[in-house]
Amino acid sequence: MPYRVFADYHTHTYYSHGRGSPRENVLAALDKGLERVAVSEHGPGHFSFGVRGKKLERLNDEMIGLRREFGGRIEVLRGLELNVMGFGKSDCPADRDEYDVIIIGYHKSVPPTNRLALSVWGESLLHIKNDPHRNAEGILAAAESCRANIISHPNLYLRVDIPYLAKCCRQLGILLEVNSARVTLSEEEIRTIAGEGCGLIIGSDAHSPGRVGDFALAGEAVTKAEAWDSVVNAKKI
């Protein structure tokens, strides 16, 4: 790979349903030679994995401590992976600006608060066909409402109109993720995103320290699509 991914903005820990601690993720990132790592736990709206209340406060304190401890060696960022809670809705916390990185993604196990989520639940239960363009609009509106930096794993659980999403994300300055735990974009879609001038970002979506900085699957997909120049967290080597 003639490019090196230097930052992992998408990692989870045992605060949600991952296995390692935030400190172990930082150590793993250092070990992989990354320059920057974020812990971006599942937002409070996720029914099973969401980190909220006192637990979220504890995580935030821990992250501030890690930033101090590792300063000068690796940049430690506070992130959150928020949930699309319905059409244009997210579980954005009141202190959103305290976070360095805001990711938003569509997940299951999110109590439906309005039509977007309901249509998806309907689709899986009743095989009702839902509309990728409408889904993209709903996710975009949610991303805009929380001023998200990244939309994680587009197409996962819910098909979206990728050309439209890419066009809007370019205008809004939102990056689209090529997720390295499971690639949710086709080669053609990655090409389309790059062609629209929208930035791509590679995330490990690690749920254990061993996977922090594992960009193999996403890297392969980006190579096939010849889209490395659009990946904002990669440098030419």
Residues forming the site for Zn ion (CB under 5 A): 81, 105, 152, 205
> DSSP code of 43?
P
> How far, CA to CA in Å, does 67 sit from each of 40, 48, 87, 88, 93?
14, 28, 35, 33, 21
Please, which residue, 2 or 180, has the CB nearer to Zn ion?
Answer: 180
CB of 171 to Zn ion, least distance (A): 24
Please, which residue, 23 or 107, has the CB nearer to Zn ion?
Answer: 107
Please, which residue, 119 or 152, has the CB nearer to Zn ion?
Answer: 152
Helix (H, G, I), strand (E, B) or coil at 6: coil
Point out the residue whose Cβ comes nearest to Zn ion: 105
Please, which residue, 180 or 197, has the CB nearer to Zn ion?
Answer: 180
Residue 43 φ/ψ, nearest 5 degrees:
-65, 165
CB of 1 to Zn ion, least distance (A): 23
Distance CA 102, CA 180 (A): 18
- The helix (H) or strand (E) run that includes residue 229 is none
CB of 105 to Zn ion, least distance (A): 4
Q: Which of 122, 22, 152, 127 is nearest to 77 (CA)?
A: 22
